[in-house]
Structure 1
Amino acid sequence: MSNHISVSLVLKQPGDMEMRQVERPAVGEREVLVKVSACGICGTDRHIYHGTYPASLPVSIGHEFAGFIEEVGIGVKQATVGDFVSVNPNIWCGRCSPCLEGNPHLCQSMHALGVDLNGGLSEYCIVPEQLLYKMSPETDPLKACLAEPVSCVLHGLDRLQVKAGYRGAVFGGGFIGQLMLQAMRLQGASEVYLIEPQEHKRQVAEKLGFNTIDPVNEKQKLVELSELDVTVDCAGAGDVLMQCIRATKRGGDILLFAAYPQGKAVSIEPFEVFRKELRVIGSFTYPDTQVRAIRMIESGQFSLDPIISEITLEETADLLEGKLDHKVLKGVVRLP
């Protein structure tokens, strides 16, 4: 195979992926060529795969990735060949009202690697210099690529303003839910519950020292769960948002973190929000938490080994279709 040919996993249309041999992409001004070491697969990727999250197809998905810089373009000032980097995949315009008001992650013209432009499920990816974050080359790539989701979690908790001594609950025990549990504890929460119907996800949380409730077989425990300072919806399914409303104390806060499918509506009782004076807080990606996320990953503050599984590029479609859900909380692809 030519040195100029690389492998890319491309989503042609919803539910239809293929492995392609493609020309190694050319580097533009103020861009770098990253040889991808690892790429995480997340819930947003699944929504894109199923056509329930907007994306520009065909595209190589994957927005959680890390790797080594192999080439730099003219005008690149801070990055050098050989740097090990993680990536913020979001490209904002810098000119719209949200950008000018200090909220670039809410940019009205946002483009993202792995969504609108080719992302990390390729051997090589073109990345604008301003999206790069240097990391220690000693960091395990399977963990380094998780700087993006950890950054999202930290931004959500910044908005939720978890304080030392708070009691809280996370609804949904997938990878993000497991991260959220750990981050809340790291921020000083004295008691954190996981509400999750699947036993293997509860078992992971229990091994990490968290209390769990099965909302299907332990309904009474769920009913009794109340007076929590904060609750977090990491499930994005069923009546979870209403369960959060019931479990949160008067004057408490709810973080709507899950990426519900576009167009999906859920039922709540607005009177309960009104009567308890609750705040329902949204959280979308992040503007400024990746440096903190990198420090936490490099210092080992998160227990990541129990919640990630290495998979191959060939297994990605099965993961996105839910065929591996019984055994994989978080699939991470190691690129060759």
Structure 2
Amino acid sequence: MPIRSNSVARLVSPRRLILTCDALSEDLPPDFVRIRIEFCGVCGTDRSFYLGHRDEGYPISLGHEHCGTIVAVGDQVGPYQAGHFVAIDPNYRCGSCHYCRIGAGHLCEKATINRYSNRGYANFIDIKASYVLKLPEYRSRHLGALVEPLSVAINAADISKCTLADEATLVLGTGGVGTLLVFNLLETQTGEIWIYDKAHSKMAALRDLYPSRIKILDSADDRVFSVVFEATGSSDGFLHGCARLAKLGRLIVVSRYHSDEPAIPDRLPWKQPNIYFVHLNGHGDSFVRAAALMKRSWGPDHDHLLSFHPLSNIDQVFTDYEHIPENKKIISME
């Protein structure tokens, strides 16, 4: 296994991403695979790090919505081989702690163990094979970068127990996860869905795909909903979701509030709501389901929701994040 040069985007301080050049070792641990990364989505969590809302020390490697091709395998890796196209579920699950045993592996007591060399904004990653899922043959390789965020959306839908045909449902925020929430719900259920986002172009792009099933909420409309998915990433979005919730309604919070933790509105308890916070993608079954749903239902027309950017421009992508009109941004290593 020859030593290769690996370009890795690292955040060296708030609002400053740079490309570094690392040497990949000839030695690969026996239970690891080496993957040539092809695409990696941009997540709101990555942007929180970029803005300095989260500080776990610098420099830090970002990107966790990645896919690529295995180029080498360790001696003890059974089901995978060079040439397999895979997605990476970045969540460590030990399989033996209390949470793993009860089907909540995303809350694993050892979740902070990272068995990989760097994150997804890079040319290569060395990673423990248990993180990897072999993907079906997609019409385009970039679909692999949507598997991980779609698995989060599927987990949120599972938690909500939402039935579109019988319940008034609202998705607040149509960025990456919000868009994939809409996609999952409309492709797996019958009925219509309401959406709201400050960026009207993102809502319009989704409605163009599902003109008979998506309704855009006017800010002056005072209707309430049985199920509200909050995916705006802001405390204002959370408060908006609380205001839109019907009595006995279900608020599904997918956002992470890294800089402005919201408070519960004083009158919200009068509605006796159920509030659920979604953490990652659950036990892992949603990851497999997401890979299958992408194969089955994401067509060429859905690609208009995406924008693609080379790794060399990654700092500019984060700088211009709010001004890029597409719903989901993807970094390409090609």
Q: Structure 1 length as normaliser, TM-score?
A: 0.89
Instruction: Report the 3-state secondary structure (helix = DSSP H, G, I; strand = E; otherwise coil) of the residue aligned with 1:299.
Output: helix
Number of the residue aligned with 1:317: 315
1:327 matched to 2:325: yes
1:123-162 correspondence to structure 2 within 5 Å: 123-162=123-162
Q: Tell me if structure 1 keeps the 8 A contact 2:64–2:119.
A: yes
Structure 1 residue 112 displacement after superposition: 7.1
1:171 and 1:62, CA in 2 relative to 1: closer, same or farther beyond 3 A?
same
RMSD value over aligned CA atoms?
A: 2.3
Number of the residue aligned with 2:264: 268
Bigger shift: 278-287 or 200-209? 200-209
Structure 1 residue 248 displacement after superposition: 2.1
The separation in 2 between residues aligned to 1:323 and 1:153, in whole angstroms, is: 21
For 1:182-212, what per-residue CA distance to the aligned partner results, in whole angstroms no more than 9, with x for missing partners? Answer: 2222342522111112221222122122211
Q: Tell me if structure 2 keeps the 8 A contact 1:318–1:324.
A: no
Instruction: Report the 3-state secondary structure (helix = DSSP H, G, I; strand = E; otherwise coil) of the residue aligned with 2:133.
Output: strand
The separation in 2 between residues aligned to 1:10 and 1:79, in whole angstroms, is: 29
Structure 1 residue 291 displacement after superposition: 0.8
The separation in 1 between residues aligned to 2:55 and 2:188, in whole angstroms, is: 34
Structure 1 residue 89 displacement after superposition: 0.8
Question: Which amino acid in 2 is paired with 1:211?
Answer: K
The separation in 1 between residues aligned to 2:235 and 2:104, in whole angstroms, is: 31
Number of the residue aligned with 2:215: 211
Instruction: Report the 3-state secondary structure (helix = DSSP H, G, I; strand = E; otherwise coil) of the residue aligned with 1:127.
Output: strand
Number of the residue aligned with 1:259: 256
Instruction: Report the 3-state secondary structure (helix = DSSP H, G, I; strand = E; otherwise coil) of the residue aligned with 1:266.
Output: coil
Instruction: Report the 3-state secondary structure (helix = DSSP H, G, I; strand = E; otherwise coil) of the residue aligned with 1:204.
Output: helix
The separation in 1 between residues aligned to 2:97 and 2:318, in whole angstroms, is: 34
Q: Structure 2 length as normaliser, TM-score?
A: 0.89
Number of the residue aligned with 1:51: 52
**Number of matched residues?**
325
1:300 matched to 2:297: yes
Aligned identity (percent) is: 20
1:198 and 1:9, CA in 2 relative to 1: closer, same or farther beyond 3 A?
same
Q: Tell me if structure 1 keeps the 8 A contact 2:187–2:297.
A: no
List gaps (5 residues or longer) in structure 2. Answer: none
Structure 1 residue 243 displacement after superposition: 2.2
1:53-72 correspondence to structure 2 within 5 Å: 53=54, 55=56, 57-72=58-73
The separation in 2 between residues aligned to 1:155 and 1:207, in whole angstroms, is: 26
Query: Structure 2 residue aligned with 1:229, among 199, 219, 226?
Result: 226
The separation in 1 between residues aligned to 2:33 and 2:139, in whole angstroms, is: 20
The separation in 1 between residues aligned to 2:306 and 2:298, in whole angstroms, is: 15
1:19-168 correspondence to structure 2 within 5 Å: 19-25=19-25, 26-53=27-54, 55=56, 57-111=58-112, 118-165=118-165, 166-168=167-169
Q: Tell me if structure 2 keeps the 8 A contact 1:257–1:284.
A: yes
For 1:120-177, what per-residue CA distance to the aligned partner results, in whole angstroms no more than 9, with x for missing partners? Answer: 1111101211111111344422111110000000001100111241221111121221
Q: Tell me if structure 1 keeps the 8 A contact 2:117–2:126.
A: no
Instruction: Report the 3-state secondary structure (helix = DSSP H, G, I; strand = E; otherwise coil) of the residue aligned with 1:157.
Output: helix
Instruction: Report the 3-state secondary structure (helix = DSSP H, G, I; strand = E; otherwise coil) of the residue aligned with 1:156.
Output: helix
1:323 and 1:186, CA in 2 relative to 1: closer, same or farther beyond 3 A?
closer
The separation in 2 between residues aligned to 1:54 and 1:95, in whole angstroms, is: 30
Instruction: Report the 3-state secondary structure (helix = DSSP H, G, I; strand = E; otherwise coil) of the residue aligned with 1:85.
Output: strand
